[in-house]
Amino acid sequence: MTPRLALTGITKHYGDVAANADVTLAVMPGEILAVLGENGAGKSTLMKVVYGVARPDAGTIAIDGAAVEVTSPARARALGIAMVFQHFALFDTLAVGENIALGAPEYPLATIDGRIVELSRRYGLELDPRRTVHDLSVGERQRVEILRALMSNPRILILDEPTSVLTPQAVDRLFGTLRQLAADGVSIVFISHKLDEIRRLATRCAVMRGGRLVATVDPRAETEAGLARLMLGADPPTIAAHDSAPGDVALEVAGLTVRGPERRHWLHELAFTVRRGEIVGIAGVSGNGQSALMASLAGEWTGRAEAVRLFGDAVGDLGPSARRARGLRYVPEERLGHGAVPELSLLDNVLLTGDALHRRGVLRRDEAREYAEGVIRGFDVRTAGPQARAAALSGGNLQRFIVGREMHARPRVLVVDQPTWGVDVGAAAAIRNALIALRGDGCAILVVSEEIDELYQLSDRLMVISKGRLSPAVRARDVSVDELGRWMAGLWPSVAEARA
Amino acid sequence: MRWPLALVPRAQPSLPLTWLSPVAAAVLTLLAGALLFFLMGKDPVQGLRVFVVEPLATQRGWSELALKATPLMLCAVGLTLCFRANVWNIGAEGQLIAGAIAGGSIALLATSRTSPAILPLILFCAALGGAGWAAITAWLRDRFNANEILVSLMLVYVAQLLLSWLVHGVLRDPQGFGFPQSKLFESTARMPVILAGTRLTIGFPVALATAALAWWVLARSLIGFQLKVAGLAPRAARYAGFSSRRVLWFVLLLSGALAGVAGALEATGPVGQLTPSISPGYGFAAIIVAFVGRLHPLGAIAASLLMALFYIGGELAQSRLGLPSALTGVYQGLLLFFLLTCDTFIAYRLQWRRNVPARA
């Protein structure tokens, strides 16, 4: 049988980074194909190529056996490719029908409601075309997006992480719709990093890692742990030899429960400690509560005072600067706009967390310049100087600067989210070495990462976060990658078993 | 047919163009204005001479320019801080009126023997009045997350009606033949003139000093840094532990106070009494001034002088050329239009189509 969509040797570079390297992949008519991979594995780039948002540097695309050039999303739609993006693009103040009509000029507004009702009946996407979008729930809004995609009778439907915003019930309904579409002959490409959903929905799963297609498997025949292992890579972890002697408890979390907006990102009764002179790593697929945990530790979110303790003091109700005053420093995952202000100079950016760099409401710019120069020298930040704008630095250099800025303050507790995310190899090694050196000085360090290798290199003890819960902490040398993969699906032994 | 030119994004926003853009916009506004004179059957050269050259030909002309620029500058400096903090205060006009009411009410208490100490009191109460009016917006935004653009704008009309009600009622001059205006302020409650033979009051140096102080706040103070960060990257502000509420209240109260002072300086300066039309839209024009001044307090000084020129030019064009006074509004609109147009080229450049790489 001729594949509905065949990709051959797709390669796409962004600067020096190969987002896709020689990806060859086919989707059959009526097939549900899952594309699995970590953040940055190249899933989204591949779909952008298929949908005409990005042009490949090399490789060909064929539909029903005929080679095609997908030069734009409009061309993609004309070829029968439709895409539902993770972030909705709907006008809140317009009705459902009006929103859909905007994307389907071939249907006159007068008759579009009938077509919407017909499609929504057929695929179980109940929706009244006259309702205004801002009255709709998130799940209903996604139905609008899907209906919009279906208006052009696509032969290929791509969904980019469609379940990340949905409740479990809405996920069930979405899967019902997708199965029905597949039964009608539509080829479905489903991008996700949720292992259980892939196993429930897809008949084939393409696994991507580092821009390459590393495996194609039948997910129903794999365990979640097996899928996780494929996604994370099977390279044997290198464990740096630490002869650390952890000291007193520096950071203590007990009974930390957080419910975010949308009621999704829960943290459920987290409890752990980090001692002076040790690095504790937290593994897990992103979106399992890491951001809520980081915000709660850094003080961006506050809650019960006793939930977070620093050197015995309850600080859970204190803001970021009060926690910094007690020696806690935090490096967020997102560099631009969170860890640094892109439009401001490096000198200004040290003032963000430079509590000693102002006095009685007046900035001490000379001290700030010295501090920034110290960071630039000490952490080998390649830049023109403290006056350079943060946005002008490469990702790796800016990460060195931010990590350096927090380390330069000689923290007693350091919380780091994805220390080397999107950073070149050289900068990654420099940052990891700096973290190990800081541990040697007696700092308590908590590292959250999606990179298993990194966690093994750095951590004395490891935990896994899954669906807002934390596994017990174990010594890094006592746990295999296989086991961690199982834990990422939430299947860890109870505390008693772990101790046994 | 395809347009032969294409807009192509620049790799970096152009810094020289950031400052050249308002100059280009001013020149284009004058050229479009000349065309407008021509279309209305006037000699464009003479029109421009009346509009631009004559106001600047005499010392008195310059003093009038500075006088008109004073309220624009005070309002625009406050709005600059608001806009830098991403707080969209559109209601400086209302805050100006509230300040005029508060300051004017104090001025009405003065007699011919009142000490000059009343002058700082007038300005202080005007600042309180303007800040109080802005506080309504701040509170509604803080407490109920109400949109500050709509709230501050609607409060302008409330302030206008409040002023109208007062000068029709309790503040009306009993000897004023029923005209809706207060009695003239005693000379002891009038802002001192600093240049003999002109109407220029101490308001102008006050406005200049305010702009300089606002520059210092933005460049050197912690709250100024906090408001810049809050405007540029709210998540980074949370990361640093800066309070967005503190920034919101600071910029709204400060800009309200400055607008309030502007209102009292007008009332107790050139106007001399409270009338229902105390401001010819200074608070709104100041929004344009803030942007023409590149959201920089020192830029606001130059931009407010330019805008003042349009006010005076409009009046002269009316009296000398018999043109409608709406010309001032047309010039303001043209200036904003051309500024937005020119600003496009800070981030984009024009390129001939055939040189554009093929793109979707």
- The alpha-carbon gap from B336 to the nearest alpha carbon of chain A, in Å, equals 25
Residues of B in contact with A344 (CB under 8 A): 228-229, 232
The CA–CA distances, whole Å, from B254 to A89, B78, B101, B127, B291 equal: 38, 6, 18, 9, 18
Q: Which of A217, A232, A247 finishes a domain?
A: A232
Report the pLDDT averaged over residues A34-58: 86
pLDDT confidence of residue B351? 79
Q: How many CB atoms lie within 10 A of CB A317?
A: 14
- The alpha-carbon gap from A446 to the nearest alpha carbon of chain B, in Å, equals 17
- The alpha-carbon gap from B314 to the nearest alpha carbon of chain A, in Å, equals 39
> Which residues of chain B carry a pLDDT beneath 70?
1-2, 353-360
Residue A13: phi and psi, rounded to 5, are -105, 140
* Domains identified in chain A, total number: 2
Residue A244 within any structural domain of the chain = no
The tokens for A45 are 């780039």
Q: How many CB atoms lie within 10 A of CB A251?
A: 25
Is residue A189 very low, low, confident or very high in pLDDT (cuts 50, 70, 90)? very high
| Whole-number Å distance between alpha carbons of A42 and A56 | 13
Is residue A121 very low, low, confident or very high in pLDDT (cuts 50, 70, 90)? confident
The tokens for B121 are 């009191």
Q: CATH number for the domain including A88?
A: 3.40.50.300
Nearest residue in A to B236, CA atom: A338
The number of C-beta contacts closer than 8 angstroms across A and B is 65
pLDDT confidence of residue A165? 63
Q: Are residues A212 and A361 in the same domain?
A: no
Q: Are residues A38 and A75 in the same domain?
A: yes
pLDDT confidence of residue A201? 92
- The alpha-carbon gap from A442 to the nearest alpha carbon of chain B, in Å, equals 25
> Of A7-11, A172-176, A307-311, which gets the smallest average pLDDT?
A172-176
Instruction: Answer yes or no: do B236 and A358 touch at CB < 8 A.
Output: no
Sorted by where each begins, the domain ranges of chain B are 5-355
Nearest residue in B to A360, CA atom: B222
What range defines the domain where residue A326 resides?
A: 260-499
The residue whose two tokens read 């190529």 is A49
Q: How many CB atoms lie within 10 A of CB B11?
A: 4
Nearest residue in A to B11, CA atom: A392
pLDDT confidence of residue B359? 42
pLDDT confidence of residue A15? 66
Q: Are residues A358 and A399 in the same domain?
A: yes
> Of A162-176, A344-358, B80-94, B102-116, which gets the smallest average pLDDT?
A162-176
**Tens digits of residue pLDDT in A249-297:** 999 999 999 886 555 557 989 999 999 999 999 998 777 888 889 999 9
Nearest residue in B to A323, CA atom: B241
Report the pLDDT averaged over residues A324-345: 94
H-helix or E-strand spanning residue B16: helix B15-39
Among the listed residues B256, B276, B250, B268, the one whose alpha carbon sits nearest the alpha carbon of residue B95: B256
| Whole-number Å distance between alpha carbons of A213 and A230 | 11
**Tens digits of residue pLDDT in B56-80:** 988 999 999 999 999 999 999 999 9
The CA–CA distances, whole Å, from B228 to A371, A417, B81 equal: 21, 25, 8
What does A234-302 look like in DSSP terms, one character per residue?
Answer: -PPPPPP-------SEEEEEEEEEEE-GGGTSEEEEEEEEEETT-EEEEE--TTSSHHHHHHHHHTSS-
Residue A452 within any structural domain of the chain = yes
H-helix or E-strand spanning residue A415: strand A413-417
Is residue A500 very low, low, confident or very high in pLDDT (cuts 50, 70, 90)? very low
Residue A60: phi and psi, rounded to 5, are -130, 155
CB B290 within 8 A of CB B109: no
**From the list B220, B233, B241, which residue is nearest A363 (CB)?**
B220
pLDDT confidence of residue A128? 85
Instruction: Answer yes or no: do B239 and A339 touch at CB < 8 A.
Output: yes
| Whole-number Å distance between alpha carbons of A426 and A431 | 9
Q: Are residues A266 and A228 in the same domain?
A: no
Q: How many CB atoms lie within 10 A of CB B117?
A: 8
The CA–CA distances, whole Å, from B29 to A41, A46, A364, B26, B274 equal: 52, 49, 42, 5, 34
| Whole-number Å distance between alpha carbons of B126 and B106 | 9
Q: Is the pLDDT of residue A113 over 50?
A: yes
pLDDT confidence of residue A68? 92
CB A13 within 8 A of CB A57: yes
Q: Are residues A207 and A104 in the same domain?
A: yes
| Whole-number Å distance between alpha carbons of A316 and A326 | 12
Q: Are residues A158 and A283 in the same domain?
A: no
Q: Are residues A400 and A454 in the same domain?
A: yes
Q: Which residues of B lie inside 8 Å of A (Cβ-Cβ)?
A: 220-223, 225, 228-229, 232-233, 235-236, 238-241, 360
Residue A77 within any structural domain of the chain = yes
Q: Are residues A57 and A144 in the same domain?
A: yes
Mean predicted lDDT score pLDDT of chain A? 87
Mutate to test the interface with B, among A70, A358, A387, A405 (most CBs of B within 10 A): A358
pLDDT confidence of residue B239? 96
Report the pLDDT averaged over residues A14-29: 85
**What percent of chain A shows pLDDT beyond 70?**
93
Q: Are residues A271 and A205 in the same domain?
A: no
Q: Which amino acid is at A69?
A: E
H-helix or E-strand spanning residue A351: helix A346-352
CB A452 within 8 A of CB A420: no
Is residue A4 very low, low, confident or very high in pLDDT (cuts 50, 70, 90)? very high
State the ipTM, two decimals.
Answer: 0.85
Query: How would you classify the pairing of strands A32-36 and A187-192?
Result: parallel
Residue A72 within any structural domain of the chain = yes
Instruction: Supply the CATH classification number for the domain B5-355.
Output: 1.10.3470
Instruction: Answer yes or no: do B221 and A340 touch at CB < 8 A.
Output: no
| Whole-number Å distance between alpha carbons of A467 and A490 | 7
In three-state secondary structure terms, A208 is strand
Q: Are residues A214 and A358 in the same domain?
A: no
